């Protein structure tokens, strides 16, 4: 199936970005409305495409569109083409749906910002790039979108770049992403070198003929790319700082969509990982470690957005773990991704709403008892909270428990370890999320005199409510008759259910719920029964201190990469100055010296030049004389 | 008489002209010396024409004369222009090429 | 040299006599041209060289070239040289002391080496056949034969050289044309300029040359009231050439004393 309409999915928001950026101040008054309408138009178009897909049979649902022949060098041919299949449409709807809601939310949230137009231009740019990422029909096209979202993320993290720390945070995100991008570009190169093509369909066809080693290399490189974009170990450090951006950005880019691009990449490349077990195991291990890592950091953060950011890292860890479990987990990873898109966006929008009512205060120790002042925010936040905890029937329950279950059933010691990590993560998640909710909405008021908390305007809470519906009901809809699994089946080819299961689904759910109750209970004991000090206590255990320092991830990066890099750079500067510059200057001095010597022959007197001509003539005559001798 | 004698004369005239170009400073004299060299070459052409029994050498000498005439016209115009601006006909004074 | 002497003995033909008389003369004239202090003398000697060469051409069956040599070189080119010499200053002497260190000995050495090599080459060269002579080539007459060649084999070169000639003529015109940037100042403007710039002493204009009633040639500076010559009364060109007659002896007082 081909279609000519796919490009408009991307073109609409891209047009908005172009108009808003090129029109300048003239677009200040109406620009945000244009951006929102265009984003909404893209969503409606996505819905239309979705309905068209539903009307077709399962094998004929994928739609492609060739835009133009992009690169044609020898045997290397890449068309700029788009492909919309069951996996892509899930993302398209998430991106444009949540994206449009967040556009609406931002109209109110950013209403006092002088640069609101620029903000919406970047948001539209992001939506366009993200759509290109999920619609590209080859790794190279995906790469363009991949870089585009990186750029949009950089611009939006540093949106308030008048603050040096925010600009630094943007740079940090950019650099960390660049490491991952290098992995992706190398993966594309290896894929072309070994498989001769970079299109998804081509790679899928040729993957069978390639050696396992090559596929493992591609898989590991793709994993590096995914860790960079999705803030997984060891490239996770940028996400916490990325909270410098405006809160809608955190909700859209750094929770719901962009950071899940790594999961998309792994799922999209399932044919590679399925053929490379080592790479697949690496994916699962990275996911398991990261979900614990993020959860522990989340439990130590007092900044509400940073706590949520750590939670994002942790939740994406679940998705990566799911994707690393192979055909058993792809569908659940995507399901968790979609559910997470809803509940995390809802949580972030809730956090933004709280900050909006609290003079941009982000320290949870300065909150407390806000449920009376912000009932709608509390309700929507609560829906997200229950969902992330995995309380039935909220969305997280359906997706997260399935991932835990799939991990346990991965077989052998591996399954037990991965499953236990996922279970433990669920408990810690319950602890830190309860801590956030309790510190924010319950207990005594701890804010300062001049702060007057109030509910946010309708333009803000309406999207929150809509998203809260998503976090409440989406899981139920996805699992109704295994809807999402069957939907994605043509793309990820699920295996038949295992014969023997280590733990039954019911048992896993009960275990998870028990642990959740324990975790939540601990948090209630610590933060509701006791008073929360306004200033974070210093006499805490070494573990808390390490967790507050993001489990030393920045220190690690600094000690292992930055300092040696700095020293290397200094050394290179010295080498450059002494050896390279020395050589260059030496050549220069040689030229100057020889030129100075030759210069003396240039007297400017015509007669001396004539003399040289005469001497030359003598040389010629002498040569003839000798030859004829 | 051996026509090669004309060639010896031609060689000597040419040498004298070459010395003059290098040694003399008055631009007009330098020009005359150049003319002398051209004429010496013409003498050689004419002699060669006679030795070889065809007129190509004479045609060549004819062309040389025309070129020499052109050269004199332009060269003297340059000398006049330089003299007008520098009040001197010495080739050493026009040594601006160095700076 | 021995060979040369032998040649002299062997050539009784009139051409040989002509050659042996004129060849030393032309060389002497060329040397004189090289050594003459005054450019005018050089030019005269150059004219002599040209005429001699014309005679040589005619003696070698190149009648047309000989005539052209006289008409173009001695007639036109040398006149042009003399004309320019007039313009630049006919009396200007060329200092023969060398200013560029070491140039002259090197030049003479090089030239002698050059000439020696050339002469030795001519002496050693063999033609492979005897002198042919132009009797057959000039059968129809020298001028028609040359014309035949010029307008057939060399017609392309002929056209090119005619273009060169026209270009050179135009180039000379362009070079010699003195472009006036501003309009010539009127008498009124000159007068105003005299009053505005300089002292009032010059306001009446420059003094005329000549000493009243005794010597009023243009190369005699006028005498100022105090008896000193006024240098600005004569042309700067004359002064530069040194062609000034001292006007002091024509002072009135001294004349009287003489009487």
A582 and A488 in a common domain:
no
Q: Would you say the C-alpha torsion A598, A601, A602, A603 has a positive or negative sign?
A: positive
Residues 6+ apart with CB under 8 A from A609: none
The predicted structure's pLDDT at residue A580 = 87
- A586-613 average pLDDT score: 86
Residues facing residue C81 across a β-bridge: none
- Structural domain range at position A574: 560-596
Q: Is the pLDDT of residue A2 over 90?
A: no
Find, in chain C, the residue whose alpha carbon is nearest to that of B23. Answer: C104
The maximal CA–CA distance of chain C, rounded, in angstroms, is 86
Residues 6+ apart with CB under 8 A from A424: A292, A515
CA C59/CA C14 separation, integer angstroms: 10
The predicted structure's pLDDT at residue C53 = 93
Q: Do A614 and C107 touch (CB under 8 A)?
A: yes
The predicted structure's pLDDT at residue C9 = 46
Q: Is the pLDDT of residue C7 over 70?
A: no
> What's the first-to-final CA gap in chain C, in angstroms?
70
Best of A607, A612, A627 to disrupt the C interface (most C CBs within 10 Å) is A607
Q: Are strands A63-73 and C229-230 parallel, antiparallel or unpaired?
A: unpaired
Binning chain B into helix, strand and coil, the percentages to the nearest 5 are 80, 0, 15
A565 and A435 in a common domain:
no
Please state which of the ranges A78-82, A541-545, B68-72, C161-165 shows the lowest mean pLDDT. Answer: A541-545
What value of ipTM does the predicted structure carry?
0.91
Q: Do A628 and C117 touch (CB under 8 A)?
A: no
C200-212 core/surface letters (b: 16 or more CB in 10 A; e: else): eeeeeeebebbbe
- Check if the beta carbon of residue B43 is closer than 8 Å to that of residue B5: no
Question: Does residue A21 form part of some domain?
Answer: no
Side-chain-side CA neighbours of A29 within 13 Å: the count stands at 1
Q: Is the pLDDT of residue B38 over 90?
A: yes
The predicted structure's pLDDT at residue C213 = 63
A469 and A570 in a common domain:
no
- A600-622 average pLDDT score: 86
Q: Is the pLDDT of residue C242 over 80?
A: no
Distance from CA of B60 to the nearest CA of C (A): 9
The predicted structure's pLDDT at residue B62 = 92
- A590-602 average pLDDT score: 86
Residues in B closer than 8 angstroms to C240, CB to CB, are 87
CA C177/CA A565 separation, integer angstroms: 71
Last residue of a domain, one of A456, A472, A495: A495
Task: Calculate ∠ Cα A564-A566-A569, nearest 5°.
Answer: 110
Residues in A closer than 8 angstroms to B98, CB to CB, are 602-604
The predicted structure's pLDDT at residue A186 = 92
- Dihedral angle computed from the Cα positions of residues A511, A413, A311 and A178, in that order, rounded to the nearest 10 degrees: -160
- Check if the beta carbon of residue A382 is closer than 8 Å to that of residue A437: yes
Q: Are strands A63-73 and C222-223 parallel, antiparallel or unpaired?
A: unpaired
The predicted structure's pLDDT at residue C163 = 94
CA C133/CA C138 separation, integer angstroms: 9
CB of A602 within 8 Å of a chain C CB? The answer is no
- Check if the beta carbon of residue A122 is closer than 8 Å to that of residue A17: yes
Q: Do B69 and C72 touch (CB under 8 A)?
A: yes
- Going by C-alpha positions, the residue among A113, A362, B20 that lies closest to residue C43 is B20
Q: Do A604 and B21 touch (CB under 8 A)?
A: no
Q: Do A611 and C121 touch (CB under 8 A)?
A: no
Categorize the per-residue pLDDT at C128 as very low, low, confident or very high, splitting at 50, 70 and 90.
low
CB of A583 within 8 Å of a chain C CB? The answer is no
- Check if the beta carbon of residue A191 is closer than 8 Å to that of residue A139: yes
- Check if the beta carbon of residue A312 is closer than 8 Å to that of residue A255: yes
Please tell me which of the candidates C107, C110, C120 has its beta carbon nearest to residue A625. Answer: C120
Structure tokens at A22: 């090129």
Best of B36, B44, B60, B87 to disrupt the C interface (most C CBs within 10 Å) is B36
Instruction: List pLDDT tens digits, range A25-66.
Output: 887 888 888 889 999 999 999 988 888 888 887 777 788 888
Q: Do B95 and A607 touch (CB under 8 A)?
A: no
Please tell me which of the candidates C43, C94, C169 has its beta carbon nearest to residue B73. Answer: C169
Categorize the per-residue pLDDT at C5 as very low, low, confident or very high, splitting at 50, 70 and 90.
very low
Residues in A closer than 8 angstroms to B21, CB to CB, are 607, 610, 614
Other residues' Cβ atoms within 10 Å of the Cβ of residue A292? 18
Cis peptide before A393 (omega within 30 of 0): yes
Question: Does residue A357 form part of some domain?
Answer: yes
- Check if the beta carbon of residue A185 is closer than 8 Å to that of residue A269: no
For A305, A313, C91, the CA distances from A234, given in Å and listed in that order, are: 21, 11, 96
* Count of CB pairs separated by less than 8 Å, A with C: 32
* Count of CB pairs separated by less than 8 Å, B with C: 230
- Going by C-alpha positions, the residue among B97, A113, A356 that lies closest to residue A123 is A113
Residues in C closer than 8 angstroms to A607, CB to CB, are 100, 103
User: DSSP assignment, residue C228?
Assistant: -
A476 and A382 in a common domain:
yes
- Going by C-alpha positions, the residue among A254, A283, A325, A298 that lies closest to residue A389 is A298
Question: Does residue A407 form part of some domain?
Answer: yes
Task: Calculate ∠ Cα A250-A253-A259, nearest 5°.
Answer: 110
3-state secondary structure A180-228: HHHHHHHHHHHHHHHHCCCEHHHHHHHHHHCCHHHHHHHHHHHHHHHHH
Placement of tokens 């959740």 in the chain? A516
CA C9/CA C122 separation, integer angstroms: 21
Q: Do A608 and C100 touch (CB under 8 A)?
A: yes
Q: Do C53 and B23 touch (CB under 8 A)?
A: no
User: DSSP assignment, residue C230?
Assistant: E
CB of A625 within 8 Å of a chain C CB? The answer is yes
Please tell me which of the candidates A607, A614, A628 has its beta carbon nearest to residue C114. Answer: A614
CA C142/CA A251 separation, integer angstroms: 106
The predicted structure's pLDDT at residue A249 = 85
Maximum mean pLDDT: which of A130-134, A365-369, A442-446: A130-134
The predicted structure's pLDDT at residue A500 = 57
CA C176/CA C80 separation, integer angstroms: 14
Please tell me which of the candidates A604, A610, A611 has its beta carbon nearest to residue B95. Answer: A604
Please state which of the ranges A266-275, A418-427, A544-553, B74-83 shows the lowest mean pLDDT. Answer: A544-553
The set of chains that have 3 or more CB pairs under 8 A with C is A, B
CB of A603 within 8 Å of a chain C CB? The answer is yes
Residues in C closer than 8 angstroms to A616, CB to CB, are none
Q: Do A624 and C120 touch (CB under 8 A)?
A: no
Per the document, the length of chain B is 99
Instruction: List pLDDT tens digits, range A249-297.
Output: 888 888 788 888 888 998 888 888 888 888 888 888 888 888 888 888 8
Q: Is the pLDDT of residue C187 over 60?
A: yes
* Count of CB pairs separated by less than 8 Å, A with B: 30
For A58, A105, A356, A399, C187, the CA distances from A457, given in Å and listed in that order, are: 43, 9, 10, 32, 91
A471 and A361 in a common domain:
yes
Q: Between A265 and A233, name the one with better pLDDT.
A: A265
A582 and A487 in a common domain:
no
Helix/strand/coil for C205: coil
- Dihedral angle computed from the Cα positions of residues A430, A436, A439 and A442, in that order, rounded to the nearest 10 degrees: -70
Please state which of the ranges A492-501, B85-94, C185-194 shows the lowest mean pLDDT. Answer: A492-501
User: DSSP assignment, residue A303?
Assistant: B
Cis peptide before A560 (omega within 30 of 0): no
CA A173/CA A150 separation, integer angstroms: 9
- Going by C-alpha positions, the residue among A265, A276, A266, A164 that lies closest to residue A212 is A276
- A567-580 average pLDDT score: 89
Residues 6+ apart with CB under 8 A from A250: A242, A243, A305, A308, A309, A348, A351, A352
Categorize the per-residue pLDDT at B63 as very low, low, confident or very high, splitting at 50, 70 and 90.
very high
Please tell me which of the candidates C33, C81, C149 has its beta carbon nearest to residue B56. Answer: C149
Other residues' Cβ atoms within 10 Å of the Cβ of residue A286? 24
A589 and A445 in a common domain:
no
Distance from CA of B56 to the nearest CA of C (A): 8
Please tell me which of the candidates B18, B92, B95 has its beta carbon nearest to residue A614. Answer: B18
Residues of B with CB under 8 A from a CB of A: 18, 21-23, 25, 30, 91-92, 94-99
The predicted structure's pLDDT at residue C259 = 47
Instruction: List pLDDT tens digits, range C45-101.
Output: 999 999 999 999 998 888 899 999 999 888 888 888 888 888 776 555 566 666 777
Residues in A closer than 8 angstroms to B96, CB to CB, are 604
A438 and A342 in a common domain:
yes
Find, in chain B, the residue whose alpha carbon is nearest to that of A617. Answer: B18
- Check if the beta carbon of residue C122 is closer than 8 Å to that of residue A628: no
Distance from CA of C124 to the nearest CA of B (A): 11
Instruction: List pLDDT tens digits, range A432-483.
Output: 888 888 888 887 777 777 777 888 888 888 888 888 888 888 888 887 777 7
Question: Does residue A355 form part of some domain?
Answer: yes
Binning chain C into helix, strand and coil, the percentages to the nearest 5 are 65, 5, 35
- Identify how many contiguous H helices and E strands chain C contains and give both numbers: 11, 2
Q: Do B51 and C175 touch (CB under 8 A)?
A: no
Question: Does residue A462 form part of some domain?
Answer: yes
Question: Does residue A28 form part of some domain?
Answer: no
Instruction: Give me the percent of chain C exceeding a pLDDT of 70.
Output: 82
Question: Does residue A456 form part of some domain?
Answer: yes
Task: Calculate ∠ Cα A104-A106-A110, nearest 5°.
Answer: 140
CA A304/CA A551 separation, integer angstroms: 18
Residues in A closer than 8 angstroms to C120, CB to CB, are 625
How many structural domains does chain A have?
A: 2
Please state which of the ranges A152-161, A190-199, A232-241, C243-252 shows the lowest mean pLDDT. Answer: C243-252
Q: Between A627 and A542, name the one with better pLDDT.
A: A627
Residues 6+ apart with CB under 8 A from A320: A226, A230, A232, A262, A263, A266, A283, A284, A286, A287, A290, A333
Residues in C closer than 8 angstroms to B70, CB to CB, are 164-165, 167-168
Maximum mean pLDDT: which of A64-73, A165-174, A209-218, A585-594: A585-594
Q: Do A605 and B96 touch (CB under 8 A)?
A: no
A437 and A299 in a common domain:
yes
The predicted structure's pLDDT at residue C256 = 55
Structure tokens at A67: 């835009």
A420 and A330 in a common domain:
yes
CB of B85 within 8 Å of a chain C CB? The answer is no
What's chain C's average pLDDT?
80
Categorize the per-residue pLDDT at C191 as very low, low, confident or very high, splitting at 50, 70 and 90.
confident
Please tell me which of the candidates A608, A615, A624 has its beta carbon nearest to residue C110. Answer: A615
Q: Where are the domains of chain C?
A: 4-90+110-129, 201-250
- Check if the beta carbon of residue B61 is closer than 8 Å to that of residue B38: no
- A223-228 average pLDDT score: 89
Residues 6+ apart with CB under 8 A from A317: A232, A286, A287, A288, A289, A290, A291, A292, A293, A294, A425
The set of chains that have 3 or more CB pairs under 8 A with B is A, C
- C175-192 average pLDDT score: 81
CB of A445 within 8 Å of a chain C CB? The answer is no
The fold for domain C4-90+110-129 equals 1.20.120
Question: Does residue A449 form part of some domain?
Answer: yes
Best of C100, C104, C117, C123 to disrupt the A interface (most A CBs within 10 Å) is C117
């Amino acid at each position: 199936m081909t279609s000519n309409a796919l490009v408009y999915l991307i073109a609409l928001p891209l047009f908005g970005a172009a108009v808003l950026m090129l029109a300048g101040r003239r677009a200040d008054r109406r620009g945000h409305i244009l951006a929102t309408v265009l984003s909404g138009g893209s969503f409606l178009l996505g819905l239309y495409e979705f309905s068209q897909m539903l009307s077709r049979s399962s094998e004929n649902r994928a739609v492609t569109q060739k835009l133009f022949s992009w690169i044609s060098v020898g045997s290397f041919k890449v068309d700029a083409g788009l492909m919309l299949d069951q996996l892509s449409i899930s993302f398209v709807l998430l991106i444009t749906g949540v994206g449009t809601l967040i556009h609406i939310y931002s109209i109110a949230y950013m209403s006092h910002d002088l640069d609101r137009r620029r903000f919406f231009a970047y948001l539209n740019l992001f939506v366009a790039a993200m759509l290109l990422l999920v619609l590209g029909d080859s790794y190279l096209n995906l790469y363009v979108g991949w870089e585009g979202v990186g750029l949009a993320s950089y611009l939006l993290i540093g949106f308030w770049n008048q603050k040096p720390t925010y600009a630094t945070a943007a740079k940090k995100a950019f650099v960390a992403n660049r490491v991952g991008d290098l992995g992706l570009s190398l993966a594309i190169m290896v894929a072309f070198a070994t498989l001769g093509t970079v299109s998804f369909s081509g790679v899928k066809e040729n993957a069978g003929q390639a050696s396992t080693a090559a596929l493992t290399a591609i898989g590991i490189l793709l994993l590096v790319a995914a860790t960079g974009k999705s803030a997984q170990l060891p490239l996770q450090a940028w996400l916490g700082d990325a909270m410098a951006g405006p809160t809608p950005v955190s909700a859209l880019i750094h929770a719901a969509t962009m950071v899940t691009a790594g999961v998309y990449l792994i799922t999209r490349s399932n044919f590679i990982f399925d053929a490379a077990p080592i790479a697949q195991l690496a994916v699962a291990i990275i996911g398991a470690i990261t979900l614990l890592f993020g959860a522990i950091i989340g439990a130590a953060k007092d900044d509400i957005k940073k706590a949520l950011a750590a939670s994002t890292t942790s939740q994406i860890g679940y998705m990566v773990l799911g994707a690393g479990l192979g055909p058993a987990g792809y569908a659940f990873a995507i399901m968790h991704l979609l559910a997470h898109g809803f509940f995390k966006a809802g949580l972030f929008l809730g956090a933004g709403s709280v900050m909006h009512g609290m003079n941009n205060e982000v320290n949870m120790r300065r909150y407390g008892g806000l449920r009376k002042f912000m009932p709608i925010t509390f309700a929507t936040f609560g829906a997200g909270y229950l969902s992330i905890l995995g309380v039935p029937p909220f969305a997280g329950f359906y997706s997260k428990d399935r991932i835990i279950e799939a991990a346990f059933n991965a077989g052998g010691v591996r399954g037990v370890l991965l499953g236990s990590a996922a279970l433990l993560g669920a408990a810690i998640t319950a602890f830190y999320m309860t801590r956030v909710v309790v510190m924010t909405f319950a207990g005594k008021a701890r804010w300062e005199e001049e702060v007057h908390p109030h509910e946010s305007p309708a333009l803000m809470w309406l999207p929150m409510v809509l998203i809260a519906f998503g976090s409440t009901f989406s899981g139920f809809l996805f699992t109704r008759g295994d809807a999402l699994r069957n939907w994605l089946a043509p793309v990820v080819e699920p295996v038949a259910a295992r014969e023997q299961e280590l733990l039954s689904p019911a048992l896993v759910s009960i275990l998870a719920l028990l642990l959740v109750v324990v975790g939540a209970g601990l948090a209630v004991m610590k933060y509701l029964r006791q008073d929360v000090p306004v200033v974070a206590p210093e006499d805490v255990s070494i573990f808390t201190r390490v967790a507050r320092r993001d489990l030393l991830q920045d220190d690690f990066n600094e000690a292992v990469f930055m300092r040696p890099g700095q020293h290397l750079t200094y050394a290179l500067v010295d080498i450059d100055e002494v050896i390279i510059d020395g050589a260059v200057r030496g050549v220069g001095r040689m030229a100057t010296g020889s030129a100075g010597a030759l210069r003396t022959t240039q007297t400017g007197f015509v007669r001396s030049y004539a003399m040289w001509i005469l001497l030359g003539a003598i040389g010629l005559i002498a040569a003839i004389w000798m030859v004829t001798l | 008489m051996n026509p090669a004698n004309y060639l010896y004369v031609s060689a000597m005239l040419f040498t004298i002209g070459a010395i003059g170009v290098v040694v003399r400073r008055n631009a007009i004299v330098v020009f005359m010396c150049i003319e002398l060299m051209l004429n010496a070459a013409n003498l050689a052409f004419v002699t060669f024409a006679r030795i070889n029994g065809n007129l190509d050498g004479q045609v060549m000498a004819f062309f040389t004369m025309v070129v020499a005439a052109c050269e004199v016209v332009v060269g003297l115009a340059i000398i006049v222009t330089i003299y007008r601006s520098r009040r001197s006909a010495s080739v050493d004074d026009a040594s601006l090429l160095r700076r | 040299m021995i060979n040369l002497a032998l040649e002299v003995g062997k050539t009784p033909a009139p051409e040989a006599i002509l050659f042996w008389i004129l060849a030393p003369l032309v060389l002497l004239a060329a040397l004189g041209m090289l050594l003459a202090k005054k450019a005018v003398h050089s030019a005269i000697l150059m004219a002599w060289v040209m005429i001699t060469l014309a005679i040589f051409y005619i003696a070698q069956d190149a009648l047309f070239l000989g005539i052209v040599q006289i008409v173009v070189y001695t007639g036109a080119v040398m006149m042009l040289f003399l004309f320019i010499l007039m313009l630049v200053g006919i009396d200007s002497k060329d200092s023969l002391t060398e200013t560029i260190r070491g140039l002259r000995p090197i030049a003479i050495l090089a030239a002698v080496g050059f000439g020696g090599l050339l002469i030795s080459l001519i002496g050693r060269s063999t033609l492979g056949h005897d002198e042919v002579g132009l009797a057959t080539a000039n059968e129809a007459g020298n001028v028609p034969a040359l014309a035949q060649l010029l307008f057939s084999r060399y017609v392309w070169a002929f056209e090119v050289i005619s273009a060169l000639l026209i270009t050179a003529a135009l180039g000379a015109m362009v070079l010699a044309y003195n472009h006036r940037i501003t309009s010539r100042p009127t008498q009124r403007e000159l007068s105003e300029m005299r009053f505005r710039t300089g002292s009032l002493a010059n306001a009446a204009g420059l003094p005329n040359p000549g000493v009243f009633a005794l010597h009023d040639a243009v190369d005699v500076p006028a005498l100022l009231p105090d008896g000193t010559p006024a240098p600005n009364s004569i042309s700067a060109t004359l002064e530069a050439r040194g062609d000034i007659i001292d006007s002091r002896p024509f002072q009135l007082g001294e004349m009287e004393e003489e009487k």
